[in-house]
Chain A
Amino acid sequence: MATDQDNLPFLGGKLSVINVGLDKFATELADHDVPVVHLDWKPPAGGDPELAALLSKMGT
């Protein structure tokens, strides 16, 4: 039998997701009553991968 302790959420808190990319994944998570924020994602640094990489090294 599952005890209360057995039901502790695996990630330390109730699963809550930030979805970055395919909106289908966000819709499906919402169907499972998982709190999900779907980002209005745009390629970082205006789509310049070199600048995006530089920025991620600067701690964005």
Chain B
Amino acid sequence: MEHTLNKVFQGFYKDSVALMRLSRDLAAMDGVNEAALMMGSPSNKQILKDAGLLADDGATAEGGDLILAVRAKDSDAAKKAAEVIETQIMSQTRAATGDTVWQPQTIRAAAKANPDANLALISVPGEFAAAEARKAISRGLNVMMFSDNVSIEDEISLKVQAREQGVLMMGPDCGTAILDGVPLAFANKVTTGDIGIVGASGTGIQEVTTLISNNGGGISQAIGVGGRDLKDEIGGISTLMAIDRLDADPATKHIVLISKPPGKNVLPRILERVGQSAKPFTICFIGASDLELPSNATAARTLKDAAQAALGGDAFAEPAVSGVSVPKGRTGIRGLYSGGTLAAETQLILLDAGLKVASNAAVPGAGSLSDAGDMHKIIDLGDDEYTQGRPHPMIDPEIRRDPLAAALADSTVDVVLIDIVIGYGAHPDPAGQLAEMLSTMQRADNPTIIASVTGTEQDPQIRSSQIQSLQAAGILVAGSNADAAMAALKLLGINS
């Protein structure tokens, strides 16, 4: 039988908002048909009466008393609900209200609240990235745009706008930067020093900065500009601005440029700007040949060459890869790369040794994978065809599993080359993951696997620990990606 229960708390005040909230909770309880908590003023008692909620107890309440009124399907349900709410009434006076922290939703609000902010790091989906960058630039923020899939028209307009505002536009598709010693996105913790880097390639910057850092040098700033900056459409806007900044930076004594070969019209502009500087430059346009450089610039064929040149030109004292076995009568090299520029560097070294090379990211002189035939295959697993709907292999090396199994089972493959790229942003233990992958694969009379680790001892994954994991898995480890490629040539009995 429906039952109306009133409970009166004498001289107990709560404000009407708190009471309405409690009323709502009470009304939502099992078996409750109607409920209210109100102070016992005459007008409130009238409201309770009209709602069929006033019992004899409640009718005696005065203005300073709190009435808990509940009408439920039976007296048990009413009692139970009233007890729960009574506990809440009493505990609410003590319950701390959890602080909620405001998180701005827009760049505009974040910049207003943090007037010292000077860089926007943008990694939202490409279709929205340009709009966000535009907002950041118009507020005077430098931009590092990790996002890709941004149209070339947007890239041009953003870079022109950035140039007008006097801020740096790094990217789109800028994976790496080191500013004031802080690694941004995919980058390594390197020693601070006097070498400045401008690069249109993320892994290229990572390889050169870590080689310099691991061989006694240091980095002042490393500025990524995005893979298309030196195309003729873009005109090298960001590269030129980055050179200006480093040229004016007293902490930078030597500047290294890393990129694929620039567009025909851009190249002379870049070299002209280099020639205007009093600082020495190292130019590593991977795959470019016959560059006519100004007198303050030195050309580097590979990333390792660039690092060596920046440190004065002496060859690194890297231990040779030990344990290189005799050829097994096969001749094939298979590269399975997560870093596009590392894959390019390997192609160059093989091409320079007179080999025929095919790649899905071919450098000038290499063939395409589709008509590879007997050629050596260097695969860039970070290319779009592998990463559609999946994380980049530097984040999740799982992409390597199938191509690795295929290479191990391929009777023409003698050497497998692998890059392990560590640092911020990267997988927490790529070497361990590779070892685990290999442990599941048959490899009795398998190809030799040669790897290199791009990274430093200060990186979260610790370079030496990664090397140990690789060696424990029977993988040969070279000092650099270039050294790994050279070791592969040596294994095949090819003198480079």
Contact = CB atoms under 8 A, between A and B. Distances in A.
Which of B110, B127, B142 counts the most A-chain CB atoms under 10 A from its CB?
B110
A56 B154 CA distance: 12
B105 A37 contact: no
Contacts of B183: 28, 32
Contact of A37 (B113, B221, B251): B113
Interface stretch (B117-125, B230-238, B402-410): B117-125
Contacts of A22: 123, 146
Contact of B425 (A8, A10, A25, A42): A25
B104 A25 contact: no
Contact of A11 (B103, B119, B135): B119
A51 B124 CA distance: 17
B117 A9 contact: no
A17 B124 contact: no
B134 A56 contact: yes
B418 to A, nearest CB: 24
SS class, residues of chain B in contact with chain A: mixed
Contacts of A24: 425
Contact of B118 (A8, A16, A53, A55): A16
Interface residues of B, number: 48
Contacts of B182: 15, 29, 32, 34
B103 A38 contact: yes
Interface string A4-25: 0111111111111111111011
Contacts of A13: 116, 118
A59 B118 contact: no
B464 to A, nearest CB: 21
Interface string B124-167: 11011011101110100110001100000000000000000000
B56 interface: no
A52 B131 contact: yes
B149 to A, nearest CB: 11
A1 to B, nearest CB: 11
Contact of B131 (A25, A42, A53): A53
Which of B108, B184, B425 counts the most A-chain CB atoms under 10 A from its CB?
B184
Given A11-B179, A53-B131, A39 B106 contact: yes
B266 to A, nearest CB: 24
A22 B121 CA distance: 9
B369 interface: no
Nearest to A53: B131
Contacts of A32: 182-183
Interface string B28-58: 0000000000000000000000000000000
B473 interface: no
Given A15-B179, A20-B107, A38-B103, A43 B128 contact: yes
B123 A18 contact: no
Given A24-B425, A39-B104, A49 B127 contact: yes
A41 B132 CA distance: 10
B111 interface: yes
B263 to A, nearest CB: 27
B440 interface: no
Nearest to B193: A2
B185 interface: yes
A21 B135 contact: no
A8 to B, nearest CB: 7
Given A11-B118, A15-B179, A60-B108, A21 B147 contact: yes
Contacts of B132: 20, 44
Which of A16, A17, A34, A42 counts the most B-chain CB atoms under 10 A from its CB?
A17
B98 to A, nearest CB: 17
Contact of A41 (B105, B180, B245, B251): B105
A18 B105 contact: no
Contacts of A56: 130-131, 134-135
A60 B139 CA distance: 10
Interface of B: 103-108, 110-111, 113-114, 116-125, 127-128, 130-132, 134-136, 138, 141-142, 146-147, 168, 179-180, 182-185, 220-221, 245, 249-251, 424-425
Q: Lowest 4 A-B CB distances belong to which pairs?
A: A21-B123, A56-B131, A40-B103, A6-B251
24 contacts: A10-B179, A11-B168, A13-B118, A15-B182, A16-B119, A18-B111, A18-B114, A18-B136, A22-B123, A25-B121, A25-B185, A29-B182, A39-B104, A39-B106, A41-B124, A43-B124, A49-B127, A49-B128, A52-B131, A53-B130, A56-B130, A59-B138, A60-B108, A60-B131
Interface of A: 2-3, 5-22, 24-25, 28-29, 32, 34-35, 37-44, 49, 52-53, 55-56, 59-60
Given A16-B117, A44-B128, A53-B130, 13 more contacts: A6-B250, A8-B251, A15-B182, A17-B119, A20-B132, A21-B146, A29-B182, A38-B103, A39-B106, A42-B105, A43-B124, A44-B131, A49-B127
